[in-house]
């Protein structure tokens, strides 16, 4: 969700207020006559509530607001939408354990309703039988440990393409943001659809690039209707947003219909991609025919599920790789420690193998530290309460939108020593993992709506990072110091760098990348 132009957003909001304010009667916080104990809330404005407190980086402004009020739990009114913001590990634990069932649903957002084929993906499906079945299919069929391991040939092939491109540009400035984006998308596209993201030799790849890129951009956008549901139809029509979404949906449907028809035809995965492992579409088509399904899976449901895996997975892997390489470039001593570990463990084998990753403890600490400072989804995907519950002794009414601010938690001085410092050493003697059980570090969320793809994302991130560190030494371009690196963020599906990361790679003597490795 991205507010790409705050002035435009606020201008449109003022128009909405002027045109439609007569529709609203500000609801009392005592809808049933009982006095509720709501979390701390700053003063609000008529109609827009607390929307004026959100910046283009809402995780920043909400973290600052929590610190200013000394309140790890906030209650806000975002237009017509009641919202709670969690900013501490203890409250995150409560939200993802004791209150997990009460907070099991998702808000009904326009982008999800249109582009996820009626919210039939895993990420935005409302709580209920369909979501339980869809998540079970993703966890057991698409992203099980065995299935993730089976995608190893695709990961290695695409990482080798990345290494080859870096080697070809040795000594010259390289746009690593573009290279890492291509890697993440190509891996996911081949695993999901059996096609490379870049297309290359035709086969619809270019059209696939176009519609998926547009879908990612539309998913990332805040809409006024998300905060004023009663007039969503008017706002989305007036701004042309619904027209853009419907056009994108038509493109997604056409491309997916072609891919599904290809998968249903003769040839199979090996004929399509030179690789015999089932991709996501193959698996879902097989599951679709199962007589044991609790809820039938339509072709549109299938499209929503596979697109969900692609959209959610690519931005997370890309943004994390971009941030970790940025932090290492800014901290060359940390970079050297990570390189020394990789080269010591891998030795003269000539390439990193997946079996080596378990021994790369310092590199894994680097990844965790990157997740702490740069969580890919800093407010997680918002939840919605299906019934009233309590958090930290406060009442959370039903139909409240709940955000968990992992950015605030990761930089909380009460949780972390010197929280603004990039220091992987803080993770060396801890057993904190990334599976959603340690609530001070939640890059993939937790509970029943936690991201099911964390192991897949980590496999791509760790394989790519270790190979880049093994084969190459990295430095910033001439004249660019560590303090000159622009760390400005773009808030979207995943929070990434605003400016591309430009680095220079030099082959480390004795560790050259060879196409025959």
pLDDT in tens, 418-441: 999 999 999 988 889 999 999 999
pLDDT for 12 equals 52
The C-alpha angle with vertex 90 and arms to 400 and 67, in degrees rounded to 5, equals 75
Q: Which residues are annotated as a binding site for heme?
A: 451
Say which residues have a Cβ less than 8 Å from residue 338's Cβ, sequence separation at least 6. Answer: 328, 362, 363, 366, 424, 469
User: What's the fold here for domain 6-507?
Assistant: Cytochrome p450 (1.10.630)
The C-alpha angle with vertex 220 and arms to 217 and 222, in degrees rounded to 5, equals 120
* Single pTM value for the model: 0.91
Say which residues have a Cβ less than 8 Å from residue 381's Cβ, sequence separation at least 6. Answer: 106, 123, 124, 445, 449
pLDDT for 195 equals 84
Whether the Cβ atoms of residue 399 and residue 108 lie closer than 8 Å to each other:
no
The C-alpha angle with vertex 248 and arms to 81 and 302, in degrees rounded to 5, equals 85
Whether the Cβ atoms of residue 88 and residue 432 lie closer than 8 Å to each other:
no
SS3 117: coil
State how far the Cα of 358 lies from the Cα of 360, in Å rounded to an integer: 6
Whether the Cβ atoms of residue 274 and residue 144 lie closer than 8 Å to each other:
no
Q: Which residues are annotated as a binding site?
A: 451
Residues of the chain under the 70 pLDDT cut: 1-34, 197-205, 221, 266-276, 515-517
Query: Comparing C-alpha atoms, which of 407, 417, 467 is closest to residue 443?
Result: 407
State how far the Cα of 9 lies from the Cα of 80, in Å rounded to an integer: 16
pLDDT for 210 equals 84
pLDDT for 25 equals 40
Helices (H), 406-453: 406-410
pLDDT for 23 equals 43
pLDDT for 308 equals 93
pLDDT for 272 equals 52
pLDDT for 512 equals 77
pLDDT for 213 equals 83
pLDDT for 35 equals 79
Residue 67, Cβ density class (10 Å: 0-12 exposed, 13-18 middle, ≥19 buried): middle
Whether the Cβ atoms of residue 380 and residue 442 lie closer than 8 Å to each other:
yes
Say which residues have a Cβ less than 8 Å from residue 439's Cβ, sequence separation at least 6. Answer: 89, 90, 92, 93, 96, 409, 446
pLDDT for 220 equals 77
Sign for the CA dihedral angle at 110, 99, 55, 42 comes to positive
């Amino acid at each position: 969700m991205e507010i790409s132009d705050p002035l435009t957003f606020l201008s449109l909001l003022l128009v909405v207020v002027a045109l439609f304010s007569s529709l609203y009667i500000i609801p009392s916080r005592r809808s049933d006559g009982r006095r509720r104990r709501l979390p701390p809330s700053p003063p609000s404005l008529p109609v827009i509530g607390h929307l004026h407190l959100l910046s283009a980086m809402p995780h920043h402004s909400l973290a600052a607001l929590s610190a200013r009020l000394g309140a790890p739990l906030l209650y806000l009114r975002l237009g017509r939408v009641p919202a709670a913001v969690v900013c501490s590990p203890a409250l995150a634990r409560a939200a993802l354990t004791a209150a997990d069932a009460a907070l099991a649903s998702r808000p009904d957002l326009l982008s999800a309703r249109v582009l996820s084929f009626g919210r039939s993906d895993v990420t935005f499906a409302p709580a209920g039988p369909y979501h339980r079945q869809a998540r079970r299919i993703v966890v057991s069929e698409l992203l099980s440990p065995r299935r993730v391991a089976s995608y190893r040939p695709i990961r290695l092939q695409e990482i080798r393409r990345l290494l080859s491109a870096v080697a070809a540009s040795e000594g010259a400035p390289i746009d690593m943001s573009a290279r890492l984006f291509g890697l993440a998308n190509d891996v996911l596209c081949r695993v999901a659809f059996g096609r490379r993201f870049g297309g290359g030799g035709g086969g619809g790849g270019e059209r696939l690039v176009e519609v998926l890129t547009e879908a990612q951009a539309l998913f990332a956008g805040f809409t006024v209707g998300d905060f004023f549901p009663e007039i969503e139809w008017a706002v989305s029509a007036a701004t042309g947003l619904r027209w853009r979404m419907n056009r994108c949906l038509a493109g997604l449907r056409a491309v997916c219909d072609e891919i599904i028809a290809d998968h249903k035809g003769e040839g199979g995965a090996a004929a399509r991609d030179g690789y015999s492992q089932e991709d996501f579409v193959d698996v879902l088509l097989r599951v679709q025919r199962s007589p044991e399904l609790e809820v039938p899976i339509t072709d549109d449901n299938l499209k929503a599920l596979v697109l969900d895996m692609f959209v959610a997975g690519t931005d997370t892997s890309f943004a994390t790789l971009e941030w970790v390489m940025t932090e290492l470039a800014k901290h060359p001593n940390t970079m050297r420690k990570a390189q020394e570990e990789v080269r010591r463990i891998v030795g003269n084998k000539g390439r990193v193998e997946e079996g080596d990753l378990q021994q790369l403890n310092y590199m894994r600490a680097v990844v965790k530290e990157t997740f702490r400072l740069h969580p890919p989804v800093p407010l997680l995907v918002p939840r919605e309460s299906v019934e009233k519950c309590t958090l930290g002794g406060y009442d959370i009414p039903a139909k409240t939108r709940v955000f968990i601010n992992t950015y605030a938690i990761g930089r909380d001085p009460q949780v972390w020593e010197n929280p603004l410092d990039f220091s992987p050493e803080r993770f060396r003697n801890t057993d904190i993992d990334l599976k959603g059980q340690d609530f001070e570090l939640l890059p993939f969320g937790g509970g029943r709506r936690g991201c099911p793809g964390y192991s897949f994302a980590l496999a791509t991130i760790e394989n790519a990072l270790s190979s880049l560190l093994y084969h190459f030494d990295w430095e910033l371009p001439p004249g660019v110091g560590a303090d000159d690196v622009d760390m400005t963020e773009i808030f979207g599906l995943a929070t990434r760098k605003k400016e591309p990361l430009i680095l220079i790679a030099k082959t480390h003597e004795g560790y050259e990348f060879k196409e025959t490795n």
